[in-house]
Amino acid sequence: MKLRAYLVDDEPLALERLRRLLEQTGRVEVTGSSTEPEQAVAALTADPPDVCFLDIQMPRLNGFDVLGKLPRQPIVIFTTAYDQYALRAFGVNSVDYLLKPIEPEAVNRAIGKVETLCESGLFVQPDFQILLKQITASVREAVPEYPERIASRLGDRLSFLDLNDVTHFYAQDKLTYAVCNDKAYCVDHAIADLEKKLDPKKFFRIHRSTVVNLAWIKEVAALPGGMLNIRLKDTKRTDLTVARDRAREFKERVGC
């Protein structure tokens, strides 16, 4: 008998990818899904599944908030882009923790754990509401804050760039530049530091020397050798190259 699963994620592309991965296993029946946490609470209450694949970071209600509103807790597998939540996730007795972008091997491993747990009948949750209150409070305190602007220095002058207007960052001659309104501005951050500093939902490192603003991508085309070409929406129609070792994760991120 297949496991009955309900999926919750505020990103439609991530939700569709997870549904596809689960269905490909042949061991799971996806009974429903939602990008709205309030809708998910209603569905999980009305028809509790065997397992819930639940995103942690969502607007209005995070994954722990959703669980706190359920009269009965299903087996939970958390999904998130932020590995800092791993220990907290296991603290509420989740079966597994899947870090985005989710790989098929991780999905199969998690399903195996759920199957074993269902067969044994050993899933218990002591003091569930107390744990949820403690964990929800700590998650709210630990939500990462990403900058909205970045500083650029020219001599003694310091100017600030709105990150929404920055099309990409690139490294050249041991310096890093932010491209904004078709002009390059020097910034005091290495590319590796920017990868950690910027919101991963908005920026992606496509090459060891380049980070791109995903909102500025107009077209993606395949190149020989497994690389990709990105064309931006700026007036120069800038072309950037996605390195071969980053192409797979990039395609998963943008849903292509």
Joined tokens for residue 57: 């970071």
Q: Does residue 179 sit in helix, strand or coil? A: strand
> pLDDT, tens digit, for every residue of 156-187?
778 899 999 999 999 999 999 999 999 999 99
Can you tell me the distance from the alpha carbon of 175 to that of 155, in angstroms, rounded to the nearest whole number? 15
Angular region, 93: left φ>0, alpha ψ -120 to 50, beta rest: left
Rounded Cα distance, 101 and 189, in Å: 26
Q: Is 200 helix (H, G, I), strand (E, B) or coil?
A: coil
pLDDT, mean over the chain: 85
pLDDT in tens, 216-229: 999 999 999 999 99
Q: Scan for tokens 């919750």, then name that residue.
A: 8
pLDDT digits 0-9 by tens, 97-110: 787 778 899 899 88
Integer Cα distance of 85 and 206 in angstroms: 25
CATH architecture of the region 3-141? 3-Layer(aba) Sandwich (3.40)
State pLDDT tens for residues 36-83: 999 999 999 999 999 999 998 887 888 888 888 988 878 889 887 765
CATH number for region 149-254: 2.40.50.1020
Phi first, then psi, for residue 246 (nearest 5°) are -115, -5
Each domain of the chain, given as residue ranges in start order, spans: 3-141, 149-254
